[in-house]
Amino acid sequence: MVDQQKLWDDVAAQNYDTPGEGMFADDVLGPTIDVLVDFADGGRAVEFAIGTGRVAIPLSEAGVGVSGIELSTAMLARLREKIGPDALPVVEGDMTTASAGDEFALAYLVFNTISNLLTQDEQVECFRNAARHLRHGGRFVIELWVPQLRSLAPGHGGTLEVSEPGYILVDTYDPLQQLVISHHVSFDPQITGSHEARIGRSPHRYIWPSELDLMARLAGFELESRWADWDRSPFTAESRSHVSVYRLVHQA
């Protein structure tokens, strides 16, 4: 059992934000906010695993009433340095069970975060909790990567996902349990503060798109659309990620 509080601790929270770069870049956030504003359609939105507010704060600034759920006290404290509870209310708790209210038009879960739930049962419960938050016809939007098992060489259990100056990402797979460990290796002195490498590891349960669709059906959703990215580009067999939009058609 992974202690998520230890995984997403003060160090992780303080190093999470990269203003203007990476997942905080305007060309990443802009299309994300545009899609979520469209699907909120004048109603309220709830973000599961709201983190430090990377998406929720600009979505709120775009005029959408946003609430959130967050398990990590450290990530929530970082969010509170940027915005108060009156402007962006957050319930501290597990996204499989915690409640931020009901009758939302939109629930969303971005940047692969559903994979932080390490069992299939927990992931199904996440869908069911999303359904409890939504009004009939509301949407649940999930951003998730496509497992890259085709990249595994025979006899090897890992893939090199990123190799760039100062940073390497290696994923190691357990195909029987559908688990992957992401190994983040930083060796840029400007980042680590020394000439020694800094290694961080995060566990995930990977989900095939077809399995995700079945989880959705168990919770009363149907797949409405799927794209390769927030720019609504077509999802193909070569896509490395997807944005899947589910509509609540009945309460399970």
Query: Which tops the pLDDT comparison, 86 or 11?
Result: 86
Whole-model pTM: value is 0.89
Read off the pLDDT of each residue in 23-43 and give the average, rounded to a whole number: 91
- Phi and psi at 244, nearest 5°, equal -110, 135
Query: In terms of C-beta density within 10 A (0-12 exposed, 13-18 middle, 19 or more buried), how is residue 172 classed?
Result: middle
pLDDT 10s digits, 95-116: 999 999 999 999 999 999 999 9
Q: Could you tell me which CATH class the domain 4-146+207-248 is placed in?
A: alpha beta
Give the separation between CA 166 and CA 182, rounded to whole angstroms: 16
2 — pLDDT class (breaks 50, 70, 90): low
> How many CA atoms lie less than 13 Å away from 45 in the CB half-sphere?
32
Kindly give the residue spans of alpha helices, DSSP state H, lying in the chain. 4-7, 10-16, 26-40, 56-61, 73-80, 120-133, 189-192, 209-218
Low-confidence winner among 90-99, 164-173, 222-231 (lowest mean pLDDT): 164-173
Query: Which tops the pLDDT comparison, 68 or 193?
Result: 68
Looking at residue 4, what is its pLDDT? 59
Looking at residue 174, what is its pLDDT? 92
Looking at residue 237, what is its pLDDT? 93
Using the predicted structure, report yes or no on whether residue 217 has a pLDDT greater than 90: yes
Place of tokens 């079945």: 214
18 — pLDDT class (breaks 50, 70, 90): low
Say which DSSP state 19 is in.
T
Query: Which tops the pLDDT comparison, 73 or 105?
Result: 105
Looking at residue 33, what is its pLDDT? 97
Using the predicted structure, report yes or no on whether residue 55 has a pLDDT greater than 90: yes
148 — pLDDT class (breaks 50, 70, 90): confident
Query: Which tops the pLDDT comparison, 164 or 60?
Result: 60
Which residues, 6+ apart, have CB-to-CB distance to 146 below 8 Å? 208, 209, 239, 240, 241, 242
Strands (E), the chain: 45-48, 66-70, 90-92, 104-109, 134-145, 158-164, 167-174, 179-186, 198-205, 221-227, 241-248
Query: 39: closest CA among 248, 239, 209, 241?
Result: 248
Residues present in the chain in total: 252
Most confident residue range from 6-20, 156-170, 232-246: 232-246
